[in-house]
Amino acid sequence: MIILVHGAYHGAWCWGPLLDCLNEAGVTACALDLPGHGTAQGWIGNQTMTNYIKAVVHTMDEMDDPVTLVGHSMSGAVVAACAEARPNKIKHLVFLAAYIPAHGETVGDLVKADKASFVRAERIDVAGNDAISLKMGTLAEAFYSRATPKQLSWAEDRVQLQGFAPFRHAFTLSEQAFGRVQKTAIICTEDRAISPNHQRWMAERARCDPIIDLASDHSPFATNTDALAEVLVRL
């Protein structure tokens, strides 16, 4: 079983095209909405890293066998924490164009360290909750730079505000749990949201093996679906 975990601003909807490809290849896969995203209960106030981790761990616990856990972008950090919590429930950890924290780091630390990112966002207040809104044009420029007009419109109709709280969460990761889980990183070589060099640095630091290059922007689940499916099927 492959469990697909979406990144910031997104929901399980983003995995739809990839799920179709995986199903056609005979691979069992599912995607979930993190708390406060998509059709999940709540909104900005529910978007915390603790809630994200609990939701994914709950899904893993419902599976009889160890799973392959794929985390995209911000959710590279989510799946890393899930590996720390349930190392025996994970067959394979896959980081897709992802942030991979070290012990004690936050996603915010990793965002700030990537000086080559084209993401432009602003902090806003939403009913007393600290949130992030992407600036005009950023979705096309940074997240979906290889998308067709139809693919971009599909994403623009669905992306949402992102709570800031998950970016402040400091991670506890150990060699005894996270360190012993098999890890693969998929580097999107045309990514303008998380620069390829930054992705590779995090992947090498986390001792991902293999590290696979994919000719894609930040959103291969939409813009290079067949190639991404092929990589996942081979793992």
Cβ-based neighbour number of residue 26 at 10 Å: 7
Give the DSSP letter string of the chain. -EEEE--TT--GGGGHHHHHHHHHTT--EEEEPPTTSTTSS--GGG--HHHHHHHHHHHHHT-SS-EEEEEETTHHHHHHHHHHH-GGGEEEEEEES---PPTT--HHHHHHH-TT----EEEEEETTEEEEEEPTTHIIIIISTT--HHHHHHHHTT---EESGGGGPPP---TTTGGGS-EEEEEETT-SSS-HHHHHHHHHHTT-SSEEEE---S-HHHHSHHHHHHHHHH-
Nearest to 118 by CA among 96, 144, 137, 141: 141
Q: What is the rounded distance in angstroms from the CA atom of residue 158 to the CA atom of residue 24?
A: 25
Q: Domain holding 135: CATH number? A: 3.40.50.1820
- The pLDDT of residue 71 is 98
What range does the domain containing 69 cover?
2-234
In terms of Cα–Cα distance, which of 198, 185, 196 is closest to 114?
A: 198
Please give the pLDDT value at position 155. 98
Write down the pLDDT at residue 235. 92
Q: For the chain, how many structural domains are there in total? A: 1
pTM: 0.98
Q: What is the pLDDT of residues 33-86, one digit of tens each?
A: 999 999 998 999 999 999 999 999 999 999 999 999 999 999 999 999 999 999
Instruction: List CB contacts of 148: < 8 A, sequence separation 6 or more.
Output: 223
| Cβ(74)–Cβ(37) below 8 Å | no
CB atoms inside a 10 Å sphere around CB 181: 21
* Cα atoms in the Cβ-side hemisphere of radius 13 Å centred on 98: 31
Angle at 100 between CA 94 and CA 104, to 5 degrees: 140
How high is the pLDDT of residue 185?
98
Structure tokens at 210: 């293999």
**Residues recorded for the chain:** 235
What is the model's pLDDT at position 121? Answer: 97
Low-confidence ranges of the chain (pLDDT < 50): none
Please report the sign of the dihedral spanned by the C-alpha atoms of residue 130, residue 221, residue 6, residue 159: positive
